[in-house]
Amino acid sequence: MHRVSRMKLSKEKIASLIKESVGHTCDPIECCVRLVAVADLPSQFGQFQICGFVSPCDDKEHTALVRGDVVDKEGVVVRLHSECLTGDVMGSKRCDCRDQLLESLRYIQKTGEGVLIYLRQEGRNIGLTEKIKAYALQDEGFDTFDANVILGHQPDERDYGVAAHMLKSLRVKSIRLLTNNPEKIAQLKAHGVKILERIPLITKQTRYNEFYIRTKERRAGHLFGENSRVTSIKEIERISGETKE
């Protein structure tokens, strides 16, 4: 049964989190983000609070939308969402980003408590203009990963260590992760995040994004098709290991 919470982060907890974030030090290999501000954010999906983070390691500003009081909580619903201007804002049908963003917010609204982390990692972290160049290559028949490589990038350059540190800054103890991407699970676990289960995030395929989604399944092991409903982290790690082999 889902929990329903009308609570939010109190002024006292916000002040404590910001003080802890500013004052602590990180391991040299970690991306040490700083929580700098929290404000109320009423939305079409209910009442949230928006948390602003700065990240000296990548010179970017990231945000977390928080519903409920998640501090020191176990099993918090979490979605990591990478910025997609063309999809999230402009409604592009080339990808499933906007659909996943909206479905995640609906799920958190229904659950009554959760965190959506919005990472400024446009185009799998190659940047907006580079992503548009990749789109042009895709128009010529290359898939989304090969297009990035042709431009001199890695197939996927996203770093979820940033998200892991944001969760630690909010003192979230363990999570239930909304994702289809086993790499998010692997990176979060490598950074010490306790993941209880995966929550599938399956949206409707269209003639515009079908090839993109199938490419993610075929090339990056995303959990679609027969694996779309797998929730066990151990089972996902087994599937991912077989895919890499």
Distance CA 60, CA 88 (A): 18
- From the candidates 67, 98, 124, 158, give the one annotated as an active-site residue: 158
The answer to whether 81 and 87 have CB atoms below 8 angstroms apart is: no
Q: Is 156 a catalytic residue?
A: yes
Classify each residue of 198-227 as buried b or exposed e, where b means 16 or more C-beta atoms within 10 Å of its C-beta.
Answer: bbebebeeeeebeebbebbbeebbbbbeeb
Q: Which two tokens stand for residue 13?
A: 């907890």
Q: Is 158 a catalytic residue?
A: yes
- From the candidates 96, 99, 143, 156, give the one annotated as an active-site residue: 156
User: Looking at the annotation, which residues are catalytic?
Assistant: 156, 158
